[in-house]
Structures are given as C-alpha cells and as structure tokens.
C-alpha cells in the first residue's frame, strides 16, 4: 500500500494508494519546447533521419503594460494527468474518454506513441477517446517512437515498454535527446529491463522488452517521473514493486492505477493545470485592484505547495467549489491583487515548486523583499538553463540580479521599476510565459521572441492573458 503525507495549509486531502512512499515534498514533470516532424527514408541501405521544425519562423508577441487583471480564465487540462491517463488507457481494457484533455504538444506526443503501439486514439475539440489493448496487448512499432519534446513521455513510457514482448526504439527532438535518462535506466535495469542508450544516458533508447521482477526501489532523488516509470514497469513484473522516495512527489499515477493489475476504460474529466494557473495568480497579484476567477483547477495536495508560497508572500487567494473527479481534487481559485512581500525559497520546498520557480523569480522585482532561490541547480538542466535565462532576461528589463550556481537573488521593487525589453526565452515555454506576465507591470512594451514555444504546455496562453489584462 502507498501512504501519502499531508502537506500543510492548502494541501489538506489525504488518500490511500498502491505503493508506500516517504512523507515529503513533490516533484515536477519535465517538459520540452517546440515539436518536430520526422521523415525517414533509406538510401544505399542506410536509414537517415531528417527533422523539420513545425515553426518555420520564430514568432514574436508584444505585451503592453496593463492597469489591472480581471475577469475569468479556464486553464488547459493538466499535462501530468493527461500523460498518465493516455498511457494507462492504452494498456486498459475497453474505451476511455477524457474531457478537457491537455492541448499541450507534449501530451499529444504521448497520444501519438500510444497509437503507434496499437491503441486506438480519436480526438476532437472537446474530448480524447483511447481504446486500449489490455495489459499485454500492445504491439511493436517498426518506426522509432517520437516523444517530441516530452521528457514525461519518454521516461514514463519506458517503464511500460520494458515489460513488453518486443523491442522498441524511442527518441525525441534535439533538445530532448540531450536530457539525462540514467535516472530511469538504473531502476528499470535492476528490474531486469534491457535498455541501451547513447552514452548510456541519453536518447535514443532501445528497449528490449521481457520478463521483469518486482523490487523495492529507494529513490536517490525526488522525481515523479522516475517513480512513475518504476511503478508502471511494476504492472508487468513478477512479484511486488514498491518505491520509497526521499520527498513526496505528485501521485497521479498511483491514483489512476489504483485498480491493480486489471485496468478498465473510464470516462474521466481532466482537471485544469495548476502550473498554468500560476501565471494568472501571479498576473493578478501584480495590481492591487485585480480580481480574477480561475475555474476548474486541479488541487491535488501533492501539487498545491505553490499556493502556500503565494500565501506566505501575502497573496490573496481563496479556493472555491472543491470537488473530486476520479480521485483528483479540483476547484476554483479566486485571486485579488495585493502587494507581495517576496522571500527565500530553499531546501525541501524547492522540489515542490520547481516548475513554478521561473514565475516566482520574474515576480521578484515587484515584491517588497525580492526573491531569493537556493538549492535549485536542477533548473540548469530543464528545457533551458532556466537560471541563466531568468538572470539574462531580468537584467534586460532592468532588474538587479545575482546569478548563482544553484539559484539566483532578485532585488525587490526598491531597486526600481522594470522597463520593457526583448525577451529571449531560449525555446522554454515557462520562461516565455513568466516574462509575458512580468511585462504587464513594466513601464514600456515588451517583446517575447519565439513566443510560440508556450504552446508546449499552453497553446492559448497569450489569448487568455490578453483577455484578462485591462489597459
């Protein structure tokens, strides 16, 4: 059995799950920018792979200063949950239907992989339907599975593929293929998986499926992706599989797989993505007269530490209309504008809010004390080197920043008001969106280069932001 801890304040919901975890903090999912198209052909007996980016030219968005943020917004479906639902539906029996499935490019990479493995996938504007092939019914793909920009896709799916009776190759775009994979290779190999990787750490991966043995894995680092990869492999293993994590991570895999070894199709509503809602909580907090209502947000207690951080900084946040859907807590968030105090984020709190750190850092110049982030060296190996990207772009807007190996210190509003600038997000969706929000409170307009990289997680972000920002 799994025992989940009870995070404080906003995180007040406790549930029973399948595997035992240690009490602690949560860990984010990892995502990547810009999708790619792949074309293969053979010439002189050799297969060559050509990649063409879907974005033919870098896009730009100009953000005008605002006076207030008001109205309502509905964030897109939760990425972490959408990934897991799609994978588990593919190995379930019967049809699953998901409303509010994430529009993010990363999640559609997962759908594409499941389709290549034999699951039937049908999607339209309002829902996604996946007809699974059962726990042992997937079929091999002649072509390399394309995880696109999605670290969640390649890492979690590796756990499923390790237990199949066929060999699979899986890779992603240029940036994903530079992301470390050793963290999943080690435990999966201990379970008996045969996986080869470039330099024994990077994609492309070749996974030779076969018999797995259950084990207890003591995780050396807090990672929802590593935990999920092991637990998904455990569905195909002989004997019990359990995980102990040094810090509590998001538990969507355990919640959805709580039926044991027999998975059946379901009709499920995907909650709105809290990490996407954070950009609007931040935007509303910039202006004292703001009043914003964010609807249908996932409030899983392993994800809500960011709300505790905002509250500690003085934000005015209220949760409304709480309910559950297939074990996931969801509700609305009401935000009113206020002056934020800022503060220090460090230690055990960092894994809880790693995805939201770019937005918190970009808020630094608008807070009383500024923002200081420590113990966050993991930011260096995200979609971009987020520490360097944050420091560079904050300086472009006139902020006072001290960059450190494991974080940064951003001076508060006493150092002066920010001005508009040209922002280089380095292909990182969270950097682009964080500075689009910061631009609302700048003195002059700001231009976000390669703005479409936001589509990796939030395709309608700029439209939603423009609708609630009053000028």
450 is catalytic: no
Task: Please say whether the beta carbons of 298 and 337 come within 8 A.
Answer: no
Task: Please say whether the beta carbons of 197 and 181 come within 8 A.
Answer: yes
Nearest to 272 by CA among 258, 244, 249, 293: 293
Measured over the CA atoms of residue 329, residue 134, residue 194 and residue 42, the dihedral's sign is negative
Catalytic one of 355, 428, 450, 464: 355
Report how far residue 303's alpha carbon sits from residue 334's, in angstroms, rounded to the nearest whole number.
17
Report how far residue 336's alpha carbon sits from residue 177's, in angstroms, rounded to the nearest whole number.
42
Report how far residue 219's alpha carbon sits from residue 345's, in angstroms, rounded to the nearest whole number.
23
Token duo for residue 289? 């007269």
The residue assigned the tokens 């979609």 is 383
Report how far residue 158's alpha carbon sits from residue 189's, in angstroms, rounded to the nearest whole number.
11
The residue assigned the tokens 């593919």 is 90
**Cα angle: 352, vertex 356, 357; to 5 degrees:** 90
Task: Please say whether the beta carbons of 120 and 289 come within 8 A.
Answer: no
Report how far residue 274's alpha carbon sits from residue 308's, in angstroms, rounded to the nearest whole number.
13
Phi-psi sector, 12: left (phi>0), alpha (psi -120 to 50), beta: alpha
The residue assigned the tokens 């995780």 is 219
DSSP 254-298: HHHTTTTT--B--EEEPPBPHHHHHHHHHHHHTSTT-EEEEEEEE
Q: What is the distance of C-alpha 364 from the center of its chain?
A: 22
Report how far residue 5's alpha carbon sits from residue 15's, in angstroms, rounded to the nearest whole number.
9
Report how far residue 244's alpha carbon sits from residue 204's, in angstroms, rounded to the nearest whole number.
28
Token duo for residue 438? 């910061």
**Residues near 318 by Cβ (< 8 Å), separated by ≥ 6?**
333, 334, 335
Task: Please say whether the beta carbons of 17 and 4 come within 8 A.
Answer: yes
The secondary structure of residue 215, as a DSSP letter, is -
Supply the residues annotated as catalytic. 355
């Amino acid at each position: 059995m799994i025992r989940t801890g009870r995070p404080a304040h906003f995180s007040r919901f406790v549930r029973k799950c399948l595997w035992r975890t240690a009490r602690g903090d949560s860990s984010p999912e990892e995502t990547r920018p810009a999708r790619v198209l792949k074309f293969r052909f053979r010439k002189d007996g050799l297969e060559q792979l050509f990649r063409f980016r879907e974005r033919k030219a870098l896009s730009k968005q100009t953000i005008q200063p605002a006076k207030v943020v008001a109205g309502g917004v509905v964030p897109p479906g939760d990425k972490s949950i959408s990934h897991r639902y799609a994978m588990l539906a593919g190995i379930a029996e019967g049809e699953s239907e998901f409303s509010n499935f994430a529009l993010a490019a990363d999640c559609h990479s997962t759908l594409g992989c499941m389709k290549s493995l034999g699951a039937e996938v049908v999607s339209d504007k309002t829902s996604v339907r996946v007809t699974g092939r059962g726990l042992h019914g997937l079929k091999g793909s002649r072509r390399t599975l394309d995880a696109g920009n999605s670290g969640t896709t390649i890492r979690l799916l590796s756990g499923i593929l390790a237990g199949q009776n066929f060999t699979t190759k899986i890779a992603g775009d240029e940036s994903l293929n530079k992301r470390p994979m050793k963290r999943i290779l080690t435990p999966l190999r201990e379970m008996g998986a045969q996986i080869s990787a470039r330099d024994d750490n990077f994609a492309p991966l070749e996974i030779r499926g076969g018999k797995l043995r259950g084990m207890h894995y003591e995780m050396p680092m807090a990672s929802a992706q590593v935990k999920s990869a092991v637990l998904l492999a455990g569905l195909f293993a002989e004997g019990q599989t359990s995980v102990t994590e040094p810090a509590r991570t998001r538990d969507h895999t355990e919640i959805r797989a709580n039926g044991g070894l027999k998975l059946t199709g379901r009709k499920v509503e995907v909650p709105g993505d809290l990490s996407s809602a954070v950009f609007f909580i931040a935007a509303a907090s910039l202006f004292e007269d703001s009043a914003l209502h964010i609807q249908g947000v996932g409030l899983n207690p392993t994800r809500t530490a960011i709300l505790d951080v905002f509250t500690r900084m003085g934000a005015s946040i209220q949760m409304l209309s709480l309910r559950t859907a297939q074990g996931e807590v969801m509700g609305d968030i009401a935000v009113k504008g206020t002056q934020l105090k800022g503060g220090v984020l460090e230690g055990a709190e960092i894994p809880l809010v790693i995805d939201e750190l770019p937005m918190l850092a970009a808020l630094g110049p608008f807070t009383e004390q500024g923002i200081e982030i420590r113990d966050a060296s993991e930011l260096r190996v995200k979609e971009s080197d987020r520490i360097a990207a944050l420091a560079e772009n904050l300086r472009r807007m006139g902020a006072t920043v001290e960059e450190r190996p494991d974080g940064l210190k951003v001076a508060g509003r006493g150092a002066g008001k920010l001005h508009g600038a040209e922002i280089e997000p380095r292909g990182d969706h969270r950097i682009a969106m964080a500075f689009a929000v910061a631009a609302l409170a700048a003195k002059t307009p700001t231009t976000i280069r390669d703005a479409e990289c936001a589509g990796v997680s939030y395709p309608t972000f700029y439209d939603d932001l423009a609708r609630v920002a009053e000028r």
